[in-house]
Amino acid sequence: MHILVTGGAGFIGSHVVDRLVAAGDTVRILDALLPAVHRIRPEVNDAAELTVADVTDRSQVEAALDGVDAVCHQAAMVGLGADLDDLPAYATHNDLGTAVLLAAMAGRGVRRLVLASSMVVYGEGGYRCPVDGPVCPGLRLPADLDAGRFEPPCPCCGRPLESTLVTEDAPLDPRSVYAATKVAQEHLAAAWAAVTGGSVLALRYHNVYGPRMPRDTPYAGVASIFRSALERGEPPRVFEDGGQLRDFVHVHDVAQANLHALRYPGAPGELIPLNIGSGEPHTVGDMASVLAQAFGGPMPVVTGSYRAGDVRHVVASSARARDFFEYQPRVAFSDGVNAFACDPLRS
C-alpha cells in the first residue's frame, strides 16, 4: 500500500512509519516539524518520503495525497489545553487541519482513513455503583479535591464507585480543550465518511509511552515528565494521591494497531471507534514508582495537588479491536517501563 502518515515525524507517528516500512508499504510523511514538538530536527525512516508542511495547507496536503491508498492521521496538538488562550491553536491544528485533510481526500478520491483519537473523549471512564449500577459521574468539585476527596461519588446516591472498563459505546464527555478537539475530529471524519462512502477507524489511544517520547514540552506525557525529573535527580511529583487508574500502552503496540487498522477493510460510510490499550490497569503512582526503581531513585513524592480538567479513572476495554483485527498488546507494563527508564528521551 501507499500510505500518507501525517505527523509521521512525531512520537507515535514515527513508530507507525517504521512499522509500515518494515511491512513493505510505501510511506510518505507530512509533518510541520513544529518547534514546540521538535527542538531539533528529528530523524525519520530513510525509506519514507518526508514533506515538511502543515496539514492546514490545502495545496501541500493535496500534493502529499498523490498516489496514496490510505491516510494515517497522527498530526495533532496534544495535552490538556487548560489555558484557554491556547484554544485557537488547538482548534487550528486539530480540527481545521483535519477538515483540510478530509476535503483534500474527498477531492483526490482517497477513501480509507485511520484517525488517531484518544481516550480523553470519554472524560471519566466507566463506573459502577453498588446500588444504582453503571453511572456517569459529573465533574469533581474543587471543594472535594481541596479536601483530598479525589474519588467521584455516585451522582444518584453519593456512594463510592467502582472503576470499570470503558467501552466504545460510552457517552462522549470531553473535559478539556484537547478532548473537545478530538471529539470534533471524530465527528468531522464521520461526516466525511457518510458523504464520500469512505471508511474510518478512529483509534482511541489510552496513555501511550515508550521510546521517542518528547520531553520538556507541552507534548510530554506523564511518563516522560517523571523520567525528566529522575534525570535531574529529582523525585517524580505525583498529583492527587497517586491512585488515578490509567491504561498505559506501549507505543510499539500502538504502532502495530495502526498497521492492522490500515489493512482492515472498514465499513463504507461509517466511522468505527476502537479503544487501543494494554488491558493492564495501573495507577499513576505505579508508573512513577516503577520508573524510579528502574532508574535508581529518588522515589516519587505524592503531592496531593491536582489539575483542573484531570479525570480520576479511565481504563480501556480493547475487546472490540481484538475482535476486529486481532489486536493483541504484547509489551507488559513492567517490561515496557523498565526499558523506558533506560531509553533516551527525545528533545
Active site (catalytic) residues: 178
Whether 10 contacts 31, CB under 8 Å: yes
The residues pairing with 274 across neighbouring beta strands, listed in sequence order, are 203
All three cell numbers of 340: 523506558
Task: Please list the alpha-helical segments (H only) found in 161-221.
Answer: 177-196
For helices 222-231 and 333-342, the axis angle rounded to 10 degrees is 40
Distances (CA, A) of 307 to 4, 268, 311: 36, 41, 9
* Beta-sheet pairing, 2-6 with 70-73: parallel
CA angle 253, 259, 263 (to 5 degrees): 145
Cell 514515527 belongs to residue: 14
Residue 303: alpha-carbon gap to chain centroid: 25
CA-CA-CA-CA dihedral for 152, 158, 161, 165, to nearest 10: -70
Whether 274 contacts 261, CB under 8 Å: yes
Instruction: Return the closest-CA partner of residue 346 out of 235, 226, 224, 231.
Output: 224
Cα 324 to Cα 319: distance, rounded to the nearest angstrom? 9
